Amino acid sequence: MKIFLDTAIVEEIREAASWGILDGVTTNPSLAAQSGRSFKENILEICEIVDGPVSAETVGLTAAEIVSEARLVCSWHRHVVAKIPCISEGLKATRALKDDPNVRVNMTLVFSANQGLLAAKAGANFVSPFIGRLDDAGHDGMELIRDLVAIYDRYGFDAEIITASVRHPRHVVGAALAGSHIATIPFKVLQKMARHPLTDVGLARFLKDWEKVPDHDTILKG
């Protein structure tokens, strides 16, 4: 499963990229506002850090506006993917962009298998189900991932599922077990994934025992 970072904070992206596990980045207007920078400038810097898809959201509400904005943001850099909301006008725009070789679409704000099915049929390259928000509303967000994986596999859709609105590390494990192609993860959740209290305890013990090894303070210093 590919791992994307769900942020527009460049420092977080640089750190995650340094781990060697980052495949892409997703942003949205809320995350862009948190960065406090020019939207285009921020997206371009992210594209220089990450060798993979970088989603930039459109804000138009008509198909014509969405198509125009999608082509604009995708012209900024080859990594940019236009993030389009799963509404009827977004579906129209996605279909209109399907044969444009310079535009890829990430259909976002997907909350049902019906929406995910329509997004794939319209020609979206990526589809982003928001599982955390579904959980918050009393539904089983991971059930949506399982349903979409089964539907896409059965009918041979090319769209990649991006498990989004991830709240905690268990969401990531669930997405991987369900067969999601991608999970996009907030940096705080990514940090938690890399840690375990038993790892910390084990490392502390190893380092304490290392001090008992002759020449321990010089042998690894060349």
Of the chain, the percentage scoring pLDDT greater than 90 comes to: 89
**pLDDT value at 25 more than 80:** yes
Over the chain, what is the mean pLDDT? 96
Cβ(77)–Cβ(100) below 8 Å: no
With tokens 């995350």, the residue in question is 31
CA–CA separation, 167 and 190 (whole Å): 10
CB neighbour list of residue 62: distance below 8 Å, 6 or more residues apart? 89
**Which tens digits make up the pLDDT trace of 191-204?**
999 999 999 999 99
pLDDT band at 217 (very low <50, low <70, confident <90, very high): confident
Q: What is the pLDDT of residue 216?
A: 85
pLDDT band at 31 (very low <50, low <70, confident <90, very high): confident
Task: Assess whether 221 carries a catalytic annotation.
Answer: no
CA–CA separation, 14 and 68 (whole Å): 30
What is the pLDDT averaged over residues 12-19?
98
53 exposed, middle or buried (CB, 10 Å; 0-12, 13-18, 19+)?
buried
Interior angle at CA 176, CA 1 and CA 187, nearest 5: 75
Worst-scoring range by mean pLDDT, 88-97, 152-161, 210-219? 210-219
CA–CA separation, 156 and 72 (whole Å): 30
DSSP letters spanning 44-57: HHHHHH-SS-EEEE
User: In degrees to the nearest 10, what's the CA dihedral of 36, 39, 22, 146?
Assistant: 100
Would you state the structure tokens that stand for residue 29, as one six-digit string?
Answer: 């207007």
**Which tens digits make up the pLDDT trace of 108-155?**
999 999 999 999 999 999 999 999 999 999 999 999 999 999 999 999
Residue of 2, 83, 121, 212 marked active site: 83
Cβ(130)–Cβ(171) below 8 Å: no
Q: What is the pLDDT of residue 74?
A: 98
Tell me the C-alpha to C-alpha distance, in Å, between residue 51 and each of 17, 88, 94, 170, 213. Answer: 9, 32, 24, 26, 42
Q: What is the pLDDT of residue 42?
A: 95
pLDDT band at 36 (very low <50, low <70, confident <90, very high): confident
**pLDDT value at 222 more than 80:** no
pTM (two decimals): 0.94
Q: What is the pLDDT of residue 34?
A: 86
Domain annotation for the chain: domains and CATH numbers: 2-196 (3.20.20.70)
pLDDT band at 35 (very low <50, low <70, confident <90, very high): confident
**Which tens digits make up the pLDDT trace of 42-80?**
999 999 999 999 999 999 999 999 999 999 999 999 999
Q: Where are the alpha helices (DSSP H) in 55-186?
A: 63-76, 88-97, 113-122, 131-136, 141-155, 169-178
